[in-house]
Structure 1
């Protein structure tokens, strides 16, 4: 049982950290390390397991990830083609396609280099695999915890439902992506009233872009009144912000000025919820972030963008680790060349 001590330690760290604040990225890391050390612990126990169960453990730890990686590459390429067909060839729409192609290029590089390359190239291959493994570990942690975070339910009454803005269509119309956030916000508003709670104020947050005729907050409020029948007295506007960080900071100021002990829920799209929650924590917003539905074909590329942003927000630690891997690879390659 000592083999499971590291997994138990990281699980305890995860529980304590998540209890303190669910919006921390380190929660995702603790959860990922728990799974890795639990898998290692299971491998140490394989010899003591019944034959059928032992094979199942080995299959789950080694074969499933391998097959899953190939399946993921195929899925991402297919999704990338769908994105291009439906959303155009903008660089951001090519992320899932590029990720899928990169998976197969990496596999081809490893096999070709391992068979034909000099010894120094073996060190390079090992370094590349280690670098990819580190980034992949972070991505899987992000993905798994973002999924768990997205299962959060609103408990008790809130004073505000903050809805983060996005770009308008034609300069003054709410697009489907933003409408999804507004529907989610109204659902929270209506559910609180239905269970006998006080009506929370709906705070539409978004300023006026250079290509927009009105502030996003104004268009959002008009949509809620026209499409959702929300009373005007239940609406508040934050119409100065240009970024998500400003959405949260300016909204926090409005809420604190009205009630320093406010409690809120922030609404964005599901692919953006965990990163927005991290930003909300940094901005000092007292509330969790909930996600609204997004078109399935849009989700993979959007999630990759979110991960890249989170990776770069922790660039000092991540680039230091990546730099250490590269330095170790170069030193090893030079030594054996």
Structure 2
């Protein structure tokens, strides 16, 4: 239809095409925003209320705001709000493109086949619901149990390091709750080391490596096997390299209801990891719009 109109008046066809793009963009943002809000409710109910579990709901609200920004961007009566809306849309599109690229690479990286045998298994914490191991954390621990049994079957006598301190909304240290879970699954208490000080993934890795070295477990040429969730494998591997650790990273499967939250959380951490670069790129993207608006001010 647009092509036939274009034969008569290219301007009309272009205007209709742009209008259709705006309408579809707003519909997509509204639907996606409402969907993320609904998923956020499910995640909080199953995993408990924490900053990480609330993230998907916050992003849902952000998409709803972005849908309004798309409307105001082309409103001739919006004035300076049109410029603000344009900045929001440009930055939103920049983040969405990065999110898609990061997620795709993370999925492919996590699915690469890799050996899991090793003498030191480090399980990264990811928060408790009070004193309870959440389904997400249980998935990591179950993956560690399989890796442990595989190493034993290969003739090794591995040590498992549970890594995680006590958060402000937790009644026990993550490391203790994780170790208790592993004992319930049949691992001997004597084969478990509890690292109770870490609060971040970087600290998980650094403090666990230090605990392994203190016990003489990381002899030259040995690698740790880091156990986390599949969505977290890429960032854990990046941080391991940054810290100079020899580590293989493997991931447990993430429940479907948590996938959106998981990748949004990882992407937020990835952006923070390269914050200066992202700020610089964002400024370069919005600078033309801001300068253009200043130029036309009376």
1:183 Cα shift? 0.9
Distance 1:274 1:74 in 2: 29
Which residues of 2 match residues 123-162 of structure 1 at below 5 A?
125-155=85-115, 157-162=117-122
1:58-69 mapped onto 2 (5 Å cutoff): none
Aligned to 2:3: none
Residue of structure 1 equivalent to 2:59:
99
SS state at 1:116 partner: coil
- Counterpart of 2:207 (choices 250, 256, 260) is 250
Give the deviation of 1:69 after TM superposition.
Answer: 5.7
Taking a change above 3 Å as real, the CA distance of residues 89 and 234 of structure 1, as seen in their structure-2 partners, is closer
Q: Per-residue deviation at 1:126? A: 4.4
Q: Name the CA distance, whole Å, in 2 between partners of 1:130 and 1:200.
A: 50
C-alpha contact (below 8 Å) 2:72/2:85 kept by paired residues:
no
SS in 2 for 1:203: strand
Partner of 1:192: 151
SS in structure 1 opposite 2:161?
Answer: strand
1:283 aligns with 2:243: yes
Q: SS of the residue aligned with 1:202?
A: strand
* The one of 146, 156, 179 aligned to 2:138: 179
Contact preservation (8 Å) 1:124, 1:329: no
Deviations 1:18-61 (A, max 9, x none): xxxxxxxxxxxxxxxxxxxxxxxxxxxxxxxxxxxxxxxxxxxx
Specify which structure has the higher proportion of helix.
1
Q: Runs of 5+ in structure 2 lacking a partner?
A: 1-20
Tell me if the contact between 1:205 and 1:241 (Cα under 8 Å) persists in the aligned partners: yes
Deviation (angstroms), 1:186: 0.8
**Alpha-carbon offset, residue 305 of structure 1:** 2.6
Say if 1:81 and 1:274 are closer, same or farther in 2 by CA, change over 3 A.
same
CA distance in 2, matches of 1:162, 1:263: 11
Q: Distance in 1 between matches of 2:280 and 2:188?
A: 52
Taking the TM superposition and a 5 Å limit, the aligned residue runs for 1:18-37 are: none
Instruction: Give the stretch that moved more between structures: 281-290 or 136-145.
Output: 281-290
Offset at residue 160 of structure 1 (A): 1.7
Give the TM-score of the pair, scaled to structure 2: 0.74
Q: CA deviation at 1:184?
A: 0.7
User: Residues 86, 205 of structure 1: CA spacing in aligned structure 2 closer, same or farther, 3 A cutoff?
Assistant: closer
Provide the residue aligned with 2:180 in structure 1.
Answer: 222
1:183-237 per-residue CA deviation (whole Å, 9 max, x = no partner) reads 110111223344x353433222234567777654344333322x22123454334
Q: Is the Cα–Cα contact under 8 Å of residues 120 and 336 in structure 1 kept in the other structure?
A: no
- State the SS of the aligned residue for 2:285: helix
2 CA distance for matches of 1:184 and 1:278? 20
Q: In structure 2, do the counterparts of structure 1 residues 296 and 203 end up closer, same or farther at CA, with 3 Å as the change threshold?
A: same
Counterpart residue number, 2:192: 235
Gap runs ≥5 in structure 1: 1-61
Task: Note if 1:321 corresponds to 2:278.
Answer: no
Q: Is the 8 A contact 1:73 1:104 kept in 2?
A: yes
CA RMSD of aligned residues (A): 3.4
Cα distance in 1 for partners of 2:166, 2:136 equals 17
Q: Where does 1:75-94 land on structure 2 (aligned, <5 Å)?
A: 75-83=35-43, 86=46, 92-94=52-54
What is the rounded CA distance, in whole Å, between the counterparts of 1:91 and 1:201 in structure 2? Answer: 31
Q: TM-score, normalised by structure 1?
A: 0.66
